[in-house]
Homo-oligomer: A and B are copies of this chain.
């Protein structure tokens, strides 16, 4: 009996989509208005899902308080009210597209989740655009 437990969270951040090794013209052609050199920003909405067996003692797969604390310590504290390009080391040389952000979040949380449990992350960049990654 494997059940998935999901917890929502969010952070507000600035970013700019571009590659340092491309010209401004090429970045504009590929990333359009997302390449504003002064940055723009989003309210990122996050769903973190952990799948595993129910612990027969507690009735929990994972205590959502523990899950919320993990998200707060490792994701919100490092991403919230930050400039992803300038303030977050993982994006120093990695373009902070939603796809790359969701993979970085998965990698940051994976080590804190039991190996016999699965982890999936959904990241909303806007209410109409979102991405999903589960490590496969």
Contact = CB atoms under 8 A, between A and B. Distances in A.
A6 B83 contact: no
A68 to B, nearest CB: 8
Interface string A84-106: 00110000001111111011000
- Chain copies in complex: 6
Chain A, interface SS category: mixed
Contacts of A133: 1-4
Rank and list the top 4 A-B pairs by shortest CB-CB distance, nearest first. Answer: A41-B41, A38-B83, A59-B97, A59-B95
Interface of A: 1-10, 12-15, 17, 19, 30-34, 36, 38-43, 45, 49, 54, 57-61, 64-65, 80-83, 86-87, 94-100, 102-103, 126-133, 136
